[in-house]
C-alpha cells in the first residue's frame, strides 16, 4: 500500500485551497521579482509547492539544503524533479571544514547525546547553509502546514521576519489528505520513504518511520522530549514551540562548535529555516 493509497482524500474546499496557494505564489512572484526562492525539504508538501510553481510557470527559484546526511531516497528526488519540471535545483551544502571540525570534536553520533549537540549539528548542516540560500532574497516559500504539529498550529500564510524578509506558507491550511490528493491527481514525484511510513523526512540519522497512531513528527528526533521536533530553523513569530525543548546537560561541548560563514555571505536569518 502506498502513501497515496493511505492518505489521499478529496476533501471539501480542496479546489479553493489549491487556488489560494497558487494565487499567493503568483502574487509573491510578481512582488519579489528575481528575489524569491522555495526552500524545499523535498518532503511531500514541498513537492506540491514545486509542482505549483512549475505548473504556473512562476519565476520562483527552487533550492534545497543538502546536509550531507540525507537518505539516498531523498537525494534521488533532485534529478527526478529537474527532469520532470525542467528546472535546476540549487543545492546548498554545509561548509566542509565546519562538518569536519564538528565530527572530529564530537563524533558521528553527537546528536543523540544532548539537545545542544543536536542543535549544533543542525547549525552546521542546516542553519548556516540556509543563510546562504536566503542571501539576496526578499521572500521565501516553505511547505509548513498547521496540521503538522502543535508548534505549527498557527502558521500564517505569510509572516515577516525582523529584517523584513517575507516567509510564505501557501499550504498552511492544507490537510495531509489534501497534500496526497494533489500528488495523486497531478502525478507529482515524491520521496519513496513516504511509502514506508515516514511522513516527515529529514536527515537519515534523525528520522525514523512512525507507528500507527503516532504524531506526524514523532519520527523526527524521537529520542527528545515532545515539543523538540524542530531544527532550530523555524524559530518563528507565530509560535514558541522551541521553548518546550528538553534542557541540555550542563556540559555538552557544543559551545566549542564554531560555524564559519562561506565567503561573501551575510550573517542574517539565524532564526529562520527550511521546512524540515
Ligand atoms: S537533523 Fe540530525 S543529522 Fe541533520 S543537521 Fe540536524 S542533528 Fe545533524
Name residues contacting ligand 1 (CB within 6 A): 67, 69, 111, 118, 121-122, 125-126, 202-203, 205-206, 231
Nearest CA to ligand 1 atom 3: 203
In DSSP terms, 141 is beta-bridged to 38, 168
Residue from 71, 119, 203 whose mutation best tests the ligand 1 pocket (most atoms within 8 A of CB) = 203
Q: Give the residue from 142, 130, 159, 117 showing the smallest Cα distance to 245.
A: 117
Residue from 41, 43, 69 whose mutation best tests the ligand 1 pocket (most atoms within 8 A of CB) = 69
Q: Give the residue from 111, 73, 127 showing the smallest Cα distance to 272.
A: 127
Q: Determine the pLDDT at residue 258.
A: 43
Task: Report pLDDT digits (tens) over 50-66.
Answer: 999 999 999 999 999 99
Q: What is the mean pLDDT of each run of 10 residues along the chain (276 residues)?
A: 96 98 98 98 97 98 98 97 97 98 96 94 97 98 92 92 96 97 98 94 94 87 73 54 28 40 36 42
Nearest CA to ligand 1 atom 2: 206
Task: Report pLDDT digits (tens) over 3-29.
Answer: 999 999 999 999 999 999 999 999 999
Residue 36 dihedral angles phi and psi, to the nearest 5°: -130, 140
| Host H or E run for residue 15 | helix 14-31
Nearest CA to ligand 1 atom 4: 203
- The pTM score is 0.85
| Host H or E run for residue 76 | helix 72-85
Q: Determine the pLDDT at residue 150.
A: 82
Q: Determine the pLDDT at residue 233.
A: 64
In this structure, what C-alpha cell is assigned to residue 194?
Answer: 513516504
User: Could you tell me the fold of the domain covering 3-256?
Assistant: Rossmann fold (3.40.50)
Q: Give the residue from 276, 126, 128, 121 showing the smallest Cα distance to 202.
A: 276
Q: Determine the pLDDT at residue 232.
A: 60
Amino acid at each position: 500500500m502506498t502513501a497515496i493509497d493511505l492518505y489521499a482524500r478529496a476533501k471539501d474546499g480542496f479546489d479553493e485551497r489549491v487556488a489560494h496557494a497558487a494565487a499567493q505564489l503568483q502574487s509573491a512572484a510578481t512582488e519579489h521579482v528575481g528575489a524569491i526562492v522555495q526552500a524545499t525539504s523535498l518532503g511531500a508538501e514541498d513537492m506540491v509547492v514545486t509542482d505549483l510553481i512549475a505548473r504556473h510557470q512562476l519565476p520562483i527559484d527552487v533550492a534545497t539544503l543538502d546536509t550531507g546526511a540525507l537518505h539516498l531516497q531523498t537525494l534521488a528526488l533532485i534529478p527526478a524533479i529537474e527532469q520532470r519540471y525542467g528546472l535546476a535545483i540549487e543545492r546548498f551544502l554545509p561548509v566542509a571544514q565546519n562538518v569536519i571540525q564538528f565530527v572530529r570534536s564530537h563524533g558521528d553520533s553527537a546528536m543523540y547525546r544532548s539537545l545542544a549537540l543536536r542543535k549544533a549539528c543542525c547549525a552546521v548542516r542546516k542553519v548556516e547553509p540556509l543563510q546562504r540560500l536566503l542571501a539576496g532574497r526578499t521572500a521565501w516559500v516553505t511547505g509548513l502546514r498547521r496540521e503538522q504539529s502543535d508548534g505549527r498550529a498557527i502558521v500564517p500564510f505569510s509572516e515577516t521576519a525582523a529584517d523584513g524578509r517575507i516567509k510564505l506558507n501557501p499550504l498552511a491550511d492544507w490537510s495531509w489528505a489534501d497534500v496526497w490528493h494533489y500528488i495523486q491527481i497531478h502525478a507529482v514525484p515524491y520521496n519513496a520513504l513516504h511509502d514506508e511510513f515516514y511522513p516527515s523526512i529529514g536527515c537519515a540519522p534523525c528520522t525514523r518511520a512512525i507507528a500507527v497512531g503516532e504524531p506526524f513528527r514523532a519520527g523526527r528526533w524521537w529520542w527528545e522530549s515532545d515539543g523538540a521536533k524542530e531544527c532550530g530553523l523555524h524559530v518563528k513569530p507565530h509560535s514558541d514551540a522551541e521553548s518546550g525543548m528538553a534542557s541540555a546537560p550542563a556540559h555538552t561541548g557544543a559551545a566549542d562548535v564554531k560555524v564559519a560563514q562561506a565567503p561573501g555571505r551575510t550573517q542574517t536569518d539565524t532564526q529562520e529555516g527550511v521546512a524540515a
